């Protein structure tokens, strides 16, 4: 067991005038994750602490938050990455529902705008769609996104502009525009070819650093920009 100090940003709209910090000094197992710390606090010290968790396997994306200034998934991040003093707060750029839980409705509304599903002009095949290795490689890592919103929360272009689609939605647009099975590329290109679409990306690379799946988001968005230009020629 080791002793740690977790400084957590607390806020309940309608009750608290403004966010405030609360420190919990607790003992946890040496190999604990950030989620283990939050669970220990919630179960043994303060049951009012609000945060999201689900799969505990880095699959669902529910537990994204900021720890010591970095966006991480709480379930996969060991405490030894940050030492014995933790500063835990909600993702930036989103309204706080309570404590570490933020309102992701705007995030998913932007995702919905780019139609994140196959659009087909042809009848469904009798069996599975067939893709060559090269066709699959074209969409590559873009299929790995778990919609945790860590990239959008890390993007300075998103913070002052609520209309910007953001890196997650744009990555999802790339994923379907370059999918050989899809017939909706023109529709999506029209959506992302906008001042609040792909051109709002200033190639800062924060999204890549924040992504827990290590997706090369900025590189994919650069390819998307090229595709948009080619489509307009």
Give the span between the Cα atoms of 103 and 162, in whole angstroms.
13
Fold of 2-102: Ubiquitin-like (UB roll) (3.10.20)
Distance of CA 50 to the CA centre of its chain: 19
**pLDDT confidence of residue 126:** 87
- Asked whether 90 and 9 are in contact (CB, 8 A), the reply is yes
Say what the pLDDT of residue 24 is: 98
pLDDT tens track, the chain, 233 positions? 999 999 999 999 989 999 999 999 999 999 999 999 999 999 999 999 999 999 999 999 999 999 999 999 999 999 999 999 999 999 999 999 999 999 999 999 999 999 999 999 988 888 888 899 999 999 999 999 999 999 999 999 999 899 999 999 999 999 999 999 999 999 999 999 999 999 999 999 999 999 999 999 999 999 999 999 999 88
Q: 98: which strand partners?
A: 101
Question: How far apart, in whole angstroms, are the C-alpha atoms of residue 141 and residue 87?
Answer: 31
Q: Own/partner pairs for 101-106, CB < 8 Å, 24+ apart?
A: 101/50, 101/51, 101/52, 104/149, 106/162
Residue 123 pLDDT: 87
> How high is the pLDDT of residue 111?
97
Helix 105-113 × helix 166-177 angle, to 10°:
30
The residues pairing with 89 across neighbouring beta strands, listed in sequence order, are 66
Which residues have C-beta within 8 Å of that of residue 132, sequence separation ≥ 6?
180
Task: For the chain, give every domain's residue range.
Answer: 2-102, 105-232
Question: Are residues 58 and 73 in contact, defined by beta-carbon separation less than 8 angstroms?
Answer: yes
Choices 2.60.120.10, 1.10.357.10, 1.10.1060.10, 3.30.420.40: CATH for 105-232: 1.10.1060.10
Q: Backbone phi, then psi, for 22, in 5-degree steps?
A: -130, 135
Exposed e or buried b per residue across 138-165, where buried means at least 16 C-beta atoms within 10 angstroms of its C-beta: bbebbeebbbbbbbbbbbebbeeeeebb
The number of helix segments (H) and strand segments (E) in the chain equals 8, 7
User: How confident is the model at residue 233, as a pLDDT?
Assistant: 83
- Check residue 146 and give its pLDDT: 98
Q: Residue 7 pairs with which residues in a beta bridge?
A: 23, 87
């Amino acid at each position: 067991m080791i002793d740690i100090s977790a400084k957590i940003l607390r806020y309940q709209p309608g009750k608290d005038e403004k966010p405030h910090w609360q420190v919990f000094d607790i003992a946890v197992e040496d190999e604990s994750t950030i989620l283990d710390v939050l669970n220990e606090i919630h179960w043994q010290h303060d049951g009012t602490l609000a945060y999201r968790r689900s799969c505990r396997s880095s699959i669902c994306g529910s537990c994204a938050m900021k720890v010591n200034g970095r966006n991480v998934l709480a379930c996969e991040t060991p405490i030894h990455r940050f030492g014995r003093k933790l500063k835990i707060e909600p993702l930036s750029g989103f309204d706080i529902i309570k404590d570490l839980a933020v309102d992701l409705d705007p995030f998913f509304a932007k995702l919905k705008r780019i139609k994140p599903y196959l659009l087909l002009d042809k009848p469904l095949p009798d069996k599975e769609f067939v893709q060559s290795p090269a066709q699959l490689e074209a969409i590559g890592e873009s299929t790995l996104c778990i919609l945790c919103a860590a990239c959008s929360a890390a993007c300075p272009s998103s913070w002052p502009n609520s209309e910007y689609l953001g890196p997650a939605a744009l990555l999802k647009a790339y994923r379907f525009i370059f999918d050989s099975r899809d017939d909706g590329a023109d529709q999506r290109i029209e959506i992302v070819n906008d001042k609040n679409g792909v051109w709002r990306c200033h190639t800062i690379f924060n999204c890549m650093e924040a992504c827990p799946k290590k997706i090369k988001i900025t590189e994919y968005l650069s390819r998307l920009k090229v595709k948009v230009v080619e489509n307009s020629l």
